[in-house]
């Protein structure tokens, strides 16, 4: 906990966000003020500055090479094809079926990430993805709250949920 708190600003304007994110001169230091967001994002590109940021960027940059991304399209197509096959199977069982697309596309995105980044399926990593989704909800629901020192140590409903996720060790290896 910082004994000398500093003011922070939440930016929502697209052009200003681009300017802040492309800052190479260190004019906009990153604020780790919200511990829930810091826990969700870890100590990677998003929350690091200076030499740490340069080192992380150098490590992940090759993964976003255009040739590597093109090679991933087959995997992405296979994942989408599996989703479509599931939809067809549901329709064959009952004729017309209601499909909640938001949830389906969340699972498709998780499946693509699982296959391309980790070589496994969404089903194999489902527990981690569900825990991440719950932590995302908890973290982003606190973004605009006033950050009161030591509040994260009080047994509030949200803190109890986060502590439960920690006890299950689902998120422990990704925590800052």
Q: What is the pLDDT of residues 22-31, one digit of tens each?
A: 766 667 777 6
Contacts of 76 (CB under 8 A, 6+ apart): 112, 116
pLDDT at position 102 over 80? yes
**Average confidence (pLDDT) over 124-135:** 78
- The overall average pLDDT reported for the chain is 79
Structural domain spans, the chain: 1-61+125-176, 65-119
pLDDT at position 151 over 90? no
pLDDT-wise least confident of 111-115, 122-126, 151-155: 122-126
Q: Higher confidence at residue 53 or residue 142?
A: 53
pTM here is: 0.56
pLDDT at position 14 over 50? yes
Q: Give pLDDT, residue 76.
A: 93
Q: Give pLDDT, residue 170.
A: 55
How would residue 104 be classed by pLDDT, with cut points 50, 70 and 90? very high
Tokens 């502590």 locate to 163
Q: Give pLDDT, residue 175.
A: 45
Distance CA 14, CA 20 (A): 10
pLDDT at position 13 over 50? yes
Q: Give pLDDT, residue 176.
A: 44
**Average confidence (pLDDT) over 36-42:** 73
For residue 87 the two structure tokens come to: 């939809």
Nearest residue to 83 (alpha-carbon basis) of 126, 112, 118, 124: 112
Q: Are 2 and 27 in contact (CB under 8 A)?
A: no
The fraction of the chain above a pLDDT of 90, given in percent, is 14
């Amino acid at each position: 906990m910082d004994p000398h708190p500093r003011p922070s600003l939440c930016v929502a304007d697209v052009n200003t966000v681009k300017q802040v994110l492309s800052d190479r001169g260190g004019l906009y230091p990153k604020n780790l003020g919200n511990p829930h967001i810091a826990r969700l994002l870890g100590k990677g590109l998003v929350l690091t500055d200076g030499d740490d940021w340069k080192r992380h960027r150098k490590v992940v940059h090759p993964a976003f090479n255009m040739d590597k991304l093109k090679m991933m399209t087959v995997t992405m197509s296979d994942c989408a094809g599996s989703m479509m096959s599931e939809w067809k199977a549901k329709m064959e069982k009952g004729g017309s079926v209601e499909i909640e697309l938001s949830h389906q596309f969340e699972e498709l995105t998780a499946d693509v990430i699982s296959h391309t980044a980790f070589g496994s399926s969404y089903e194999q990593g489902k527990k981690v993805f569900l825990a991440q989704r719950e932590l995302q909800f908890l973290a982003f629901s606190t973004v605009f709250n006033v950050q009161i020192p030591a509040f994260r140590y009080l047994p509030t409903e949200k803190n109890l949920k986060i502590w439960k996720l920690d006890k299950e060790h689902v998120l422990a290896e990704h925590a800052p």
